[in-house]
Structure 1
Amino acid sequence: MTSANQTPRPGRTPMTRRRMLQGTLAAAAGTGALSACSTGAVGSGDVTEIDYWLWDALQLPAYSAAIDRFMEQNPDIRVRITQMGWDDYWTKLTASFVAEAGPDAFTDHLARFPEFVSLGVISPLDGLGDLDSIPGDRFQNGLQDLWTGQDGKRYGIPKDYDTIAVLYDQTMLEEEGLTPEDLANLEWNPDDGGTWEQMLARLTIDSNGKRGDQDGFDPTSVQRYGLGTEGSIDYVGQSSWSSFAFGTGWRFTDEATWGTRFQYDDERFVRTIDWYFGMVDKGFFPPYGTFGDSSPKQAQLQSGSAALVMDGSWMITTYNNAEGIELGIAPLPAGPEGTPMSMFNGLGDSISAQSDKKAEAARLIGFLASDEAQQIIGERAPFFPATDTGTRAAIQSYADQSLDVTPFTDRVKNGETGLYPLVENSASIASIMQPAFDQIWMRRISGADFAAYNERVNALFS
């Protein structure tokens, strides 16, 4: 990466790090107490106990099985797993860093990783055990780059990845006289929305039974929207607008990773965002506040208030288990550059800089990246593990449930992805950009107005 040649930041003293972490914690939502298993105490005899934290309850069975195998092969290490909900996880993790009582290893997210590196609370993995012998190309293309700092060092071992696809109820589709093939080859453009918008119009129905492509359709009184939405759309737009913007060739920043200039003023983004939120005026997309957090996308499919939704691969099991939905998965529409494009995100395993058991933690996360562990995880996973072995196992596991998940995995296989924005100042960027996305969704501003917000974001890097 070009940023690998940048001069490293001066080291921070422990007191400086503590003050910065305290400030970060004060800005975080909630102030939950540390869990009882965050101390990482050494066990009796020659057994060392290490703590491993993760937030996703759906991932817990798969990783528990893999970690059980690890402990069978490493009887000198006992791993204590702590799982907690998303909000509690980050609050308690940050608090544990302040208290210097964090886990030895933990699941990390790209939105937090740059800040953790800057604060010096996660350890470079170079030179730890056998981690140096794990080549970056054993993971899906580009994943290891996402976990490499500006200093060229690795701070995370990829554990999984996620992409976006179109989800629907097959019963609904049949009732509409459509087939999965009708959704398989749609295309999109920012001028008229292409065949994708035509499909959304057909699937949209107003309160009088008129479809979005029929005369007399009322866009202000919609019974079923062609496309559902989450309650809040943010500056990343992972499962909403980003797939369309990527399809124009647009990217978040001037560099693939560690960029310092955002591009919300780019004409390709402006046209995309005007089209995307312009679907509110046409009645194909819900107005701001229609559903809110109380009605997640799968509930919109269940209730029939949305015909299609775009969502992440981490949600497959949730949709597949939802009552009243016979799940179908379709690829994203192809954009102006000729292919579907999905955001490519992935979680990683990091090691706390405060841990005095880094060698044991390195053995654990190294094992989790092995073919043996990836096979175990993939067979049980409601997500896609980071390696080919794990991905194949997951695809087969879903196929055994009569579910074709390749609309998710084909994006990575075909190189049809855009990267999650790996930058510092993510919390500040979010606070600056959220009003812009709220306002355009409310139809109070246009895409051209994003230039002013873009200047404020870029000023964070000057």
Structure 2
Amino acid sequence: MSAVRINDARKKIAAVTGLAAAATTLAACSTVGASGATDGVVDYWLWDANQLPAYQACADAYQEETGNEVRISQYNFDDYWNKLTAALVAGAGPDVFTDHVGRYPEYVTRGALLDLNTLEATASIDHDEFHPGLAEMWEGPDGGWYGVPKDFDTVALFYDRNQLEEAGLTDEDMQNLTWNPQDGGTYEDVIARLTVDENGVRGDEEGFDPENVATYGIGTGGSGSYVGQTEWSQYAFSTGWHHTDETLWATEYQFDEPEVQDTLAWYFGLAEKGYMPPYDVVGTNSDVVGQVGSGMAAMVPNGSWLITSFAALEGVDLGIAPLPSGPVGHPVSMYNGLGDSINAETDNPELAAEWVAFLGSDTCQEIVGSYAVVFPARPAGTEAAIEAFGEQGIDVTPFTDLVDAGHTALYPLADHASTVDATMLPVMDGIYIGQRDVETLTEVNEQLNALYEND
């Protein structure tokens, strides 16, 4: 079947404008080559170096099975999106690429992706064979399907048992923590206990100096912009709040609601109390793995994609605990999943679709799971990952139990994501710094919703 092309000149201009806007916050890009799944060769891009060996193994298995070659290119995260955006604007780039649910809506509205329902190899994929909700994330407003699920991620607490022991706490103390936006619950009690100032006084002891902290009880990668995937979303979700009015393809944000504003006031208040690094410190050290590894932070909530990075830290006795239960009565984590999409400008869409279908198969996803880096989107792949992590002595159930119990909330999926991010990031940074109040979000929320009035 033929590829969907951007033939109308006005659409091409819109594509250039919209996609270029998505790249304004990224670094300058280098020249990219033309797309072309020809002569049995597929060009495939991904960004995670940790996953490259697993996907090379999938490519080798695919070539052995079909005789078709896959050329894989890996770029770091920022360069990846800059190069990809420039390539799609120019009608070039890879045939197939790793995509993100926060990015693909704008690519869909600009006509840059193929509808996988129109290609034989991908149209026959059963969406129910993936973990619940993952395939649906890639369904566009036009009824098209734009990404085959490759993995999922959730959030849990990484901590250093050495720091825990020094604070007089145990692994058991990290289980069944509770949280609320008023006083932080037993979760804040633990954060305070793990915090130590330069005189050795802990955050829950008299005389603690919040201006001179040696070890923060909790680390952070920053303000989290409008998503807060690993920073604050888990707390807001546990109040019953969600970013948007609809789960998929929303047109209204909900940052004007008291639940999220109270949550953010509590979260950024941790920095004022001295329990979390202030904005100026994070500005020079936003690497959460490094924060724990250096002893700067005793604990940090973060995503399952960093398990191997935390486990590799020298001098850290890694523990992983569930997120705290919030007012809804249980933990809630953001539930996100990457997918594989096909460039609308590929020269051989059917061959590209065959590779995408293989990427979404049990064969490839069990290979990926066996490398113990991420949790594949198919249950068989996830089981392979759990087993592989277990062989390394890593208990990953704080991540997987969330999915089994349905205690998850989807990544906010809506068009205009780049504009929303550009609007929200300085506001959220301002709240973190202490230059803005959380009530500012009520007015900003009106600006976000205005983006959708003429859609």
Structure-1-length-normalised TM-score: 0.93
Q: Which amino acid aligns with 2:406?
A: G
Choose which of 157, 168, 176 in structure 1 pairs with 2:159: 168
Mapped pair 1:444 → 2:435: yes
* Residue aligned with 1:126, SS: helix
Task: Tell me which residue corresponds to 2:14.
Answer: 20
Choose which of 22, 28, 31 in structure 2 pairs with 1:34: 31
Choose which of 126, 129, 135 in structure 1 pairs with 2:117: 126
The residue correspondences of 1:103-118 to structure 2 (distance < 5 A) are 103-118=94-109
Choose which of 304, 326, 333 in structure 1 pairs with 2:324: 333
Contact kept, 8 Å, 1:59 with 1:381, in 2: the verdict is: no
Instruction: Note the residue ranges of structure 2 that are not aligned, 5 or more in a row.
Output: none
Contact kept, 8 Å, 2:285 with 2:291, in 1: the verdict is: no
Q: Which amino acid aligns with 1:124?
A: D
* Residue aligned with 1:192, SS: coil
Task: Tell me which residue corresponds to 1:8.
Answer: none
Choose which of 393, 405, 421 in structure 2 pairs with 1:430: 421
Q: Which amino acid aligns with 1:66?
A: C
The residue correspondences of 1:296-311 to structure 2 (distance < 5 A) are 296-311=287-302
Q: CA deviation at 1:232?
A: 4.7
Q: Deviations over 1:227-281 (max 9, x none)?
A: 1111453110000100000000001111011110100001111111111111122
Mapped pair 1:99 → 2:96: no
Q: How far apart, in 2, do the equivalents of 1:387 and 1:459 lie?
A: 38
Q: How far apart, in 2, do the equivalents of 1:34 and 1:66 lie?
A: 28
The residue correspondences of 1:41-120 to structure 2 (distance < 5 A) are 42-43=38-39, 48-75=40-67, 77-120=68-111
Mapped pair 1:393 → 2:384: yes
Task: Tell me which residue corresponds to 1:159.
Answer: 150
Q: How far apart, in 2, do the equivalents of 1:63 and 1:120 lie?
A: 27
Contact kept, 8 Å, 1:247 with 1:339, in 2: the verdict is: yes
Mapped pair 1:281 → 2:272: yes
Q: Deviations over 1:306-327 (max 9, x none)?
A: 1110111111111111222221
Q: How far apart, in 1, do the equivalents of 2:131 and 2:82 lie?
A: 30
Q: How far apart, in 1, do the equivalents of 2:69 and 2:196 lie?
A: 57
Q: Which amino acid aligns with 2:53?
A: P
Q: CA 1:232/1:248 → structure 2, altered by over 3 Å: closer, same or farther?
A: closer
Contact kept, 8 Å, 1:191 with 1:275, in 2: the verdict is: yes
Q: Deviations over 1:265-303 (max 9, x none)?
A: 011111111111111222212211213254511111122
Contact kept, 8 Å, 2:32 with 2:93, in 1: the verdict is: no
Contact kept, 8 Å, 2:43 with 2:96, in 1: the verdict is: yes
Contact kept, 8 Å, 1:62 with 1:381, in 2: the verdict is: no
Q: How far apart, in 2, do the equivalents of 1:366 and 1:42 lie?
A: 17
Contact kept, 8 Å, 2:121 with 2:350, in 1: the verdict is: no
Q: CA 1:257/1:193 → structure 2, altered by over 3 Å: closer, same or farther?
A: same
The residue correspondences of 1:403-422 to structure 2 (distance < 5 A) are 403-422=394-413
Contact kept, 8 Å, 1:238 with 1:343, in 2: the verdict is: yes
Q: Which amino acid aligns with 1:335?
A: G
Q: How far apart, in 1, do the equivalents of 2:37 and 2:134 lie?
A: 32
Mapped pair 1:271 → 2:262: yes
Q: How far apart, in 2, do the equivalents of 1:25 and 1:98 lie?
A: 8
Q: How far apart, in 2, do the equivalents of 1:21 and 1:325 lie?
A: 47
Q: How far apart, in 2, do the equivalents of 1:184 and 1:372 lie?
A: 36
Q: How far apart, in 1, do the equivalents of 2:289 and 2:41 lie?
A: 40
Q: CA 1:293/1:217 → structure 2, altered by over 3 Å: closer, same or farther?
A: closer
**62-71 or 289-298: bigger deviation:** 289-298
Q: How far apart, in 1, do the equivalents of 2:345 and 2:144 lie?
A: 18
Q: CA deviation at 1:212?
A: 1.1
Q: How far apart, in 2, do the equivalents of 1:195 and 1:143 lie?
A: 33
Q: Which amino acid aligns with 1:65?
A: A
Q: How far apart, in 1, do the equivalents of 2:353 and 2:286 lie?
A: 41
* Residue aligned with 2:366, SS: helix
Q: How far apart, in 1, do the equivalents of 2:299 and 2:28 lie?
A: 37
Contact kept, 8 Å, 1:378 with 1:397, in 2: the verdict is: yes
Task: Tell me which residue corresponds to 1:205.
Answer: 196
Q: How far apart, in 1, do the equivalents of 2:438 and 2:222 lie?
A: 20
Q: How far apart, in 2, do the equivalents of 1:438 and 1:228 lie?
A: 16
**228-237 or 331-340: bigger deviation:** 228-237
| Identity across matched positions, percent | 48
Q: Which amino acid aligns with 1:16?
A: R
Contact kept, 8 Å, 2:231 with 2:301, in 1: the verdict is: yes
Q: How far apart, in 2, do the equivalents of 1:374 and 1:295 lie?
A: 31
Q: Which amino acid aligns with 2:388?
A: S
Q: Deviations over 1:189-214 (max 9, x none)?
A: 01111000011111111122211111
Q: CA deviation at 1:333?
A: 0.4
Q: How far apart, in 2, do the equivalents of 1:52 and 1:111 lie?
A: 20
**291-300 or 237-246: bigger deviation:** 291-300
Q: CA deviation at 1:20?
A: 2.8
Q: How far apart, in 2, do the equivalents of 1:321 and 1:164 lie?
A: 18
Mapped pair 1:354 → 2:349: no
Task: Tell me which residue corresponds to 2:251.
Answer: 260
Contact kept, 8 Å, 1:231 with 1:296, in 2: the verdict is: no
Q: Which amino acid aligns with 2:431?
A: I
Q: How far apart, in 1, do the equivalents of 2:258 and 2:15 lie?
A: 38
Contact kept, 8 Å, 2:164 with 2:194, in 1: the verdict is: no
Structure-2-length-normalised TM-score: 0.94
**257-266 or 280-289: bigger deviation:** 280-289
Instruction: Note the residue ranges of structure 1 that are not aligned, 5 or more in a row.
Output: 1-10
